[in-house]
Amino acid sequence: MQRYETQRRKAYILRLTIVQLSMTLCGMLAAYWVDDVEGMSSVFKGALVALLPHAFFIKRMGVMRAGRPSQAAMRLFRAEAGKFGLTVALFVAVFVAAPPSNPTFFFYAYVAVVLTHWLTPWLMPKNVNA
């Protein structure tokens, strides 16, 4: 049973990552069409601020491997706290060190990548072979 759940989670994370990267690429192309390279860099920065904490959360939570369910709540708390802290740090770093030329594109990309989790019902495989 544990092996099936681990495979199912891996398939979901792979699909979610593909969708997030596809949204980032589409956003970058649209921004290039509207605002040239500056818009593309703003979209890229916004997507990166969303993607890096998400990857940290997956790694910290141990979603990709089977584990003991007794420690799941503590892992969830620590992973979520780390994700929040990393998100705040990345926002500060982006706006202090390399401010986006178009904040609108930056925030649109950030929100679009974060909201891809709403696609969860359609991304979950029905079986392992999907």
Q: Are the CB atoms for 42 and 100 separated by under 8 Å?
A: yes
Cβ atoms of 125 and 8 within 8 Å: the answer is: yes
pLDDT value for 101 = 87
> What are the tokens at 75?
């892992």
The more confidently predicted of residues 76 and 109 is: 109
> Taking CA 53 as the corner, what is the angle to CA 88 and CA 89, rounded to the nearest 5 degrees?
20
> What confidence score (pLDDT) does residue 8 get?
79
In whole angstroms, what is the distance from residue 108 CA to residue 47 CA? 9
HSE-up of 89 (CA within 13 Å, CB side)? Answer: 8
| Average pLDDT of every residue of the chain | 85
- Tens of pLDDT, residue by residue over 7-63, are 878 888 888 889 899 999 999 999 999 988 999 999 999 999 999 999 999 888 876
**H-type alpha helices, 62-102:** 72-97
pLDDT of residue 63: 67
The whole-number pLDDT of residue 65 equals 63
The reply to whether the predicted model has a pTM over 0.85 is no
